[in-house]
Amino acid sequence: MSRKLSYREAMREAMHEALASDPRVFLMGEDVGRYGGTYAFSKGFLDEFGPERIRDTPLSELGFVGAAIGAALGGMRPIVEVMTVNFSLLALDQIVNTAAALRHMSGGQFSVPLVIRMTTGAGRQLAAQHSHSLEGWYAHIPGIKVLAPATIEDARGMLAPALADPDPVVIFEHAGLFNLEGELPDDWSADISSARVRRAGKDVAIITHGGSLPKALAAADTLAASGIEAEVLDLRVLRPLDGASIMAAVAKCRRAVIVDEGWKSGSLAAEVIARIMEDAFYELDAPVVRVCSEEVPIPYAKHLEEAALPQAEKIVAAVKGLFA
C-alpha cells in the first residue's frame, strides 16, 4: 500500500511528527508562525504547538542561527528555517566558525544537534539574488552533514535522523520540487549516509542530486528510446559523499555524466569527478563530463533562466557525446 502526497506535505508531516514526539524540538525562522512559513511548510503549527515551539524571528539570520546554536548546546533540538540559501550567507560565521567547529574545538566536550533547512535552487524567476545553489560550499566544511532530499520519501524521512544526529545537519530543499507529487509506500525508509540508485542502467551513470534529479530521470527516459540505458544515481548526501556508490556506478557503466545546478567552477561536480579520477580512472571508457549552470548570475527572464540551468536536453546531449 502507499499514499499520494507532495514534497511539501511530506516535509510538513516530518516536522509535525518531530514536534509532536519530542518536546525538545522547536521550529524557528522568518514567518514560520502566524504566516505558516514562506512555503507553507508550517501552516497551522503555531495554533497547535504555541509560540514557545514555533518561533517567528527577526530578519537576522546571524542572530537566530546563533540563538539556535545556544539552544542546541543547552539540550534542545532546534529546526531552523532559512528562507532561501542566499540568506544563509548572513549566518556563515555561526554555521562554519561555530556550529561546525565546536565539537573539535572543545575536544569533544560539546556537540551541536542543530538542523538548518534552507530553500535552494533556481527555476522560479526570482533572479540572481534568490536562485543560488550553494550546496557545494557547505559540502566543503568538516563538522556538518549536508543533505539534499529530492524525493517524497527523502522529504518525509531524512528529518528524523538529522534531528537525532549529534552534530549540525544542513538540509537543502530545492524549491522546484515543492509541488512534486508521488507515492509514499508504507514501508518507506530513509537514511542520511548513502546515495540511492533511482534508475538502473548499464551504459552510462548520470550522477546528480536535488532539483536536477527529475531532469536526469527525464533524460534517461529519452536516452532509452535511443538504445542507451542510463543509471541515475541520486547522491542525496553531499557530505559525507557516498564514494562507494559512486565508484560502483562508474565501474558498472564505464561512462559518467555529473549533473549539478551549481556553477562549474569549484563545483560539487568537480569534487565528484576528482574522486572518480582518483579511485576509478581505469574503469572508464570515456572522459567524465558534467552539466552545470552557466557561469552567470541566474537571469530573471524565463527563457534566459532556462538556458542558464541544466536541462534534460543538455544531459541527453552530454551523454550522446560520450558515444560519438
Q: Among all residues, which ones are annotated catalytic?
A: 61, 130
End-to-end CA distance of the chain: 44
Q: Please give the chain's pLDDT, 324 residues, in tens.
A: 789 999 999 999 999 999 999 999 999 999 999 999 999 999 999 999 999 999 999 999 999 999 999 999 999 999 999 999 999 999 999 999 999 999 999 999 999 999 999 999 999 999 999 999 999 999 999 999 999 999 999 999 999 999 999 999 999 999 999 999 998 988 888 899 999 999 999 999 999 999 999 999 999 999 999 999 999 999 999 999 999 999 999 999 999 999 999 999 999 999 999 999 999 999 999 999 999 999 999 999 999 999 999 999 999 999 999 998
The letter for the amino acid at 32 is V
Which CATH number is 2-185 given? 3.40.50.970
Cite the residue boundaries of each domain of the chain with CATH code 3.40.50.920: 196-321
Residues 6+ apart with CB under 8 A from 222: 312, 316
Alpha-carbon 148 to chain mean position: 2
Degrees (nearest 5) of the Cα angle 204, 260, 235?
65
CATH of 196-321 among 3.40.50.2300, 3.30.450.90, 1.10.3720.10, 3.40.50.920: 3.40.50.920
Cite the residue boundaries of each domain of the chain with CATH code 3.40.50.970: 2-185
